[in-house]
Each structure stands twice: as C-alpha cells, then as structure tokens.
Amino acid sequence: MVIFKKINDIKHYIYLQNTSGTATGFVPTMGALHAGHLSLVGKAKADGMLAVCSIFLNPTQFNDKNDLNKYPVSIEEDIELLIKGGCDVLFMPSVNEIYPDGESGAKTYDFGYLDTILEGATRPGHFRGVGQVVARLLEIIQPHNLYIGQKDFQQCMVIKKLVEMTGMSKINVIICPTAREADGLAMSSRNRRLTEPQRTIAGVIYQCLVSIESKQNAADFEVVKKECGDLLAAKGFIPEYIALADARNLALLSNYQKDVPMVALIAAKIGEIRLIDNVLLGK
C-alpha cells in the first residue's frame, strides 16, 4: 500500500494508474477502522478498482468539539488493517491540505430538507461539514466509484445529493451493507469508547430495529416505537429518535405504509456515546 499526505502526489499517482487502465474506487473514512470500513475496501477490490482509502478526521462535521477531541485515533493499527484488507492507496491529508483557506473558507452546500431532520436536527451543521469534506475529497481523488456505508443512511442520501449538485454524477455511488457484531450491534469507531457493561447491552438498538421491521404488518408504529423507547430506556439508553421514513427521500412516516419502501432509524445515547443504526424494511 502506498501512503500519500500531499494532494499533488496522490493525484499524480492516481493519474498514472488510471491511464494504465485501472479505475479508482474511493472509500473516505475518519480512521479508527473496523471490519465495516474494510468491507468497503473489499468491495472496491472485488469490483477490480484501485482501492483508495482516506483517513481524515474532519473537524467541520463535529458540531460538538468534545466529540471531536474524544474521537478514537489509531493510525498504526489502521495502516495494518488496510494492508491486510488489500487497500492500494491511503490518503492522510492534513487539515491545511484539505482546507487551505481555513475551515470557514471551504465551499458549503445546502441539503435542504435532509439537513433539517433526524441527524440534521440533532447535530446542526453536521451535514454541512460532511458536504464540505466529501466535495473536497472527490475533487482530489476523482473516483469512478465511491463506496459508502448504509450504516449512515442519511449521510448516504446527502452524499448522493452532493454528487448531483456538484455535477459529479458520473461517479457511481455504491451503498454497502452495514457490517455488524455477533449481537447485531452496527460496527462503529465509537463502539471502542463503550465500557464493558455498555457494550454488553448495546445490541438492543438492533433488536429494536428488527422488532420495528417484524411488526410492520401487525401493529401501529406508534405502539412499537413506544415499546422500543421503553426497552432502550430500561437498558440505560437515552433515545434521541426512533423513526420510520420513506427510504427514497427520508420523508418521515407516522405509521407503516404498504407499497412504500421504508427505513427504520434509531439514534440513542449511552453515557457520552451516541450510536446510530437503521434497517431497510423488507416485506
């Protein structure tokens, strides 16, 4: 695996690879890598791409600076995992490289409705930061395929919209399934901060999502939502939202709808750790 820190160097390397016939598959991350991230790299490789991963802890997407300061960092381990996972290129830019005009100087994008609900409502400014960094990284890497995780469902929608808005719609945005632990907990860099007792019960978020899915033909969503809220609270979680939405546009639904592709989404906090997860509702 080749590691680059400077934009000009990585651009030159990718240009040479592309001209010799290999297309680029890009996996942007914030580091503290786990098997979920590696599944994206694996997909890029399986698709025959030059797998390019970036590790950049983007300051502009953290509305809570405490969350940024406590975000896990494990560069040495990340590099080892990426080598084992078959990654070809790692990009590790500095903040100056990504934001040469300062964090406030970067171009911003308006995601409208998507920025007002769920993650947008509870983390003001978060998607503005995501838009800034992803636009900048795409401009640098110019990938053929972009691999992102369904784990961050709303972010996937924001990125799809960004790709359209910036005229980069020739990039194929590939949404990869959520990698989970044995008890269903969605893999996340934040899981490392869970204490042992917190980790033991954290699978309850996925249990709630499964229950929302399994009761879709037999109950009112409000009733299931209340049961999930009670279960989460009984385990020590503070639910931020338990929501049902149209999976095509994230329009919130007050009840299950026949003939509408649906997604159930949960955000909940335990201690200082905020976890999110979602499932698409099959029939």
Which residues have a catalytic role annotated?
Answer: 37
Residue 123 found at the interface with ligand AMP (CB under 6 A): no
Quick note: the x/- pattern for ligand AMP over 136-175, rule CB under 6 A, is ------------xx-xx-----------------------
Task: For ligand AMP, give the closer residue by CB, 176 or 262.
Answer: 176
d(CA 178, CA 155) in angstroms, rounded, equals 13
Least CB distance to ligand AMP at residue 193 (A): 13
Report the SS3 class of residue 102.
Answer: coil
- Binding flag, residue 275, ligand AMP (CB under 6 A): no
- 135 or 148: CB nearest ligand AMP: 148
Residue 40 in the binding site for ligand AMP (CB under 6 A): yes
Judged by CB under 6 A, the chain residues 175 through 194 that form the site for ligand AMP are 176, 178-179, 186-189
Distances (CA, A) of 265 to 113, 157, 190, 206, 216: 17, 14, 18, 10, 14
Longest dimension (CA), the chain: 58
Interhelix angle for 204-214 vs 221-234, to 10°? 160
Separation of alpha carbons 68 and 282, rounded Å? 35
In this chain, which of 29, 54, 145, 154 binds ligand AMP, going by CB under 6 A?
Answer: 29
Nearest to 186 by CA among 37, 28, 26: 37
Query: Binding residues for ligand AMP, per CB under 6 A?
Result: 29-30, 36-37, 39-40, 148-149, 151-152, 176, 178-179, 186-189
